[in-house]
Amino acid sequence: MRKIREVLRLRLEAGLSIRQISASTKTSVGAIQKVLARADALEIVWPLPEDLDDGRLAAMFYPGSDPTTSSRHQVPDWTTVYQELKRKDVTKLLLWEEYTARYPNRCYSYSQYCDRYRHWLKQQRRSMRQTHKAGEKCFVDYCGPTVPIINPQTGEIRTAQVFVAVLGASNYTYAEATWSQGLQDWLLSHRRTFEFFGGVPEMVVPDNLRSGVSKACRYDPDLNPSYQQLAAHYQVAVLPARPYKPKDYVLPKIMCWQRAKTTRRKGKGCDYAT
């Protein structure tokens, strides 16, 4: 809308062609043709009346628009965005798509949306920054979403749990799917994690999963005996997070799993895995 006056000037006063106007204003040929056709219908001549401001001019070409708000962006409710991002399978991309569908003409681009959300987030309550040393801690847990596994021969669908291990300093990540969160799968996932990393960290930090921690306690948690034997075999210390203290357990987000589900609906299954 802000380029309407310039398009009219270049056409009516300078006598440029449509393609020359397009190159000058960085506007598409189709949009310029619509503006000029509307100008002919309104019998607009140059120069324009002095009392015709940009808002009234835009209303003449786009009667359905509101000149007081059409050029402004609708600021999202960042508090709602923050709360929605806590839900499983909800990403900023999904929320941005819902935002653009609601305000198609007054929405921020995705990069602007993310940048403004980060700026808003920095102004909220401060938290202690976690500093990790290389090779010191490995954070392990099962991520929330499960993976449907389809048997191509029988069509049977089983859900698999996703085990994730992340080194604190480098965010080097290992992930695998197992049939359950049971003790056997839990221990074998640790073994394969250490084989993948090619070594063991000083400490393993799990959440208070029943397979690893028999009794959660702030100062003296009881580890599962088998899990304790695994730690002794690999000469690694197990340091469970305190119950109801999620900031003790800082597991970096696994973006590959979040991007795989950009909607709240369940994704399609993958081929059968053995």
Confidence of residue 245 (pLDDT cuts 50, 70, 90): low
Across 95-125, b (16+ Cβ under 10 Å) vs e yields bbeebbeeeeebbbeeeebeeebeeeeeeee
Of 17-21, 47-51, 230-234, the range with the lowest mean pLDDT is 47-51
Give the confidence band of 210 by pLDDT, cuts at 50, 70, 90.
low
Segment among 82-91, 125-134, 174-183 with least mean pLDDT: 125-134
Q: What's the pLDDT band for 273 if we cut at 50, 70, 90?
A: very low
Which of 43-47, 50-54, 267-271 comes out lowest in average pLDDT? 267-271
CA dist., res. 166 & res. 254, Å (int): 9
Is 0.75 topped by the overall pTM?
Answer: no
- What's the pLDDT score for residue 249? 47
Tens of pLDDT, residues 191-202:
999 999 999 999
pLDDT tens profile 60-94: 887 655 444 445 788 899 989 988 988 878 889 98
Q: Distance between CA atoms of 92 and 96, rounded to whole angstroms?
A: 6
- Residue 169: C-alpha distances to residues 138, 141, 267 (Å): 9, 17, 32
